[in-house]
Amino acid sequence: MLKRVLFGCRKIIKMRAKAWNVRKVHRWLTLLFGLQLIIWAVTGAFMVLMQLPYIHGNHLVQEADRPLEDFSVAARFQDVVATYPAATNVLLVNRFIHDRFQHVFQVTTESDKFLLEPDSLELVELNELDIQALAHLYYRPIDGQEPHLLAVDLLTQEAPSELNPRHLPVWRVDFGDRRQTSLYLSAQTGELVTKRHRAWRWFDIAWMLHIMDYQERQNISTPWILFFTVSTFLIVLSGGYLLIRHFLIRKWRMRWKR
């Protein structure tokens, strides 16, 4: 009986000494990296609760081009291809340009995209008034309210963080609604490049904090997130060890009471 008690005491003393060191490691790891764990939990819950179709902003916009009316213009497709052999795609669209809907060819190459007048095949240049008119057509009002423009800016050199630079040059059109809607329209074609609103921007911040890519917000394997992931794994291991040790000591104590 005495040997059993002495063996049990030595076992518990060793376990307690080892547990004390593990407990300190666990405590400091939790203090140092616990904030990021909370951020992961909050941002993860936010992104799960938000509906992606709403975040993408499809409810903000509508179709701006009209269906084709003059199909005789399509006969010039071959002329467009002959004039621009590097074209990868040619579309005939009915778009609101220069105060009226008109048919134009939208030509896409590997490095550019532009509009052509169907008769002369000359380049069609869009001005700010064209962009404003197109933005009104793309915009879907809230409960029938009239759209109110706050600002119209041409971006050519530097893109904001919410826009991929490959879309430059673009026009940014801001609307004065409660959704804080911004539409980005191609400077060459007037196409809707993308749309942004307040919920998307909050989602973008949550995504940035979650993946810990504070600049591009695209890399999910940054050194920061890898470092914090390893630290979190150590927190789990040390916490698991302490939990198992707790039940083992409890088991020894119950044996002594018998």
Nearest to 190 by CA among 135, 150, 248, 152: 135
158: in domain:
yes
Asked if 175 contacts 139 with a C-beta cutoff of 8 angstroms, the reply is yes
* Distance between CA atoms of residues 174 and 153, nearest Å: 9
Q: Residue 215 and residue 162: Cα distance in Å, rounded? A: 11
Examine the domain organization and report whether 72 and 143 are in the same domain: yes
Whether residue 143 is found in the same domain as residue 248: no
190 and 64 share a domain? yes
Is beta strand 89-97 parallel, antiparallel or unpaired with respect to 149-155? unpaired
Q: Are residues 192 and 67 in the same domain?
A: yes
Which residue do the tokens 């794994």 mark? 233
Whether 202 is in a domain gets the answer no
Based on the fold, state whether residues 111 and 74 are members of the same structural domain: yes
Q: Write out the residue range of the structural domain in which residue 94 sits.
A: 58-196
Q: Give CA angle at 14 (13, 18), nearest 5°.
A: 115
pLDDT reported for residue 25 = 65
CB atoms within 10 A of CB 159: 17
Question: Do 32 and 120 fall into the same domain?
Answer: no
Same domain? 182 vs 82:
yes
43 and 163 share a domain?
no
Shared domain for 156 and 90, answered yes or no, is yes
Query: For 131-182, what is each residue's pLDDT tens digit?
Result: 999 999 999 887 767 778 899 999 998 889 899 888 999 999 999 888 899 9
Asked if residue 1 belongs to a domain, the reply is no
Strand blocks (E) in 156-221: 170-175, 182-186, 192-196
Q: Is residue 248 part of a domain?
A: yes
- pLDDT, mean of residues 235-243: 68
Distance, CA of 157 to chain centre:
22
Q: Are residues 242 and 224 in the same domain?
A: yes
Q: Tell me how far the alpha carbon of residue 242 is from its chain's centroid.
A: 39
Question: Is residue 143 in some structural domain?
Answer: yes
Same domain for 184 and 148: yes
Q: How many structural domains compose the chain? A: 2
> Is 169 within a domain?
yes
The confidence band for 258, taking pLDDT boundaries of 50, 70 and 90, is: low
Closest Cα to residue 197, out of 11, 48, 28, 53? 53
pLDDT score of 43:
87
Structural domain includes residue 153: yes
pTM over 0.85: no
**Looking at the structure, do residues 245 and 139 belong to the same domain, yes or no?**
no
**Highest mean pLDDT: which range of 48-52, 197-201, 251-255:** 197-201
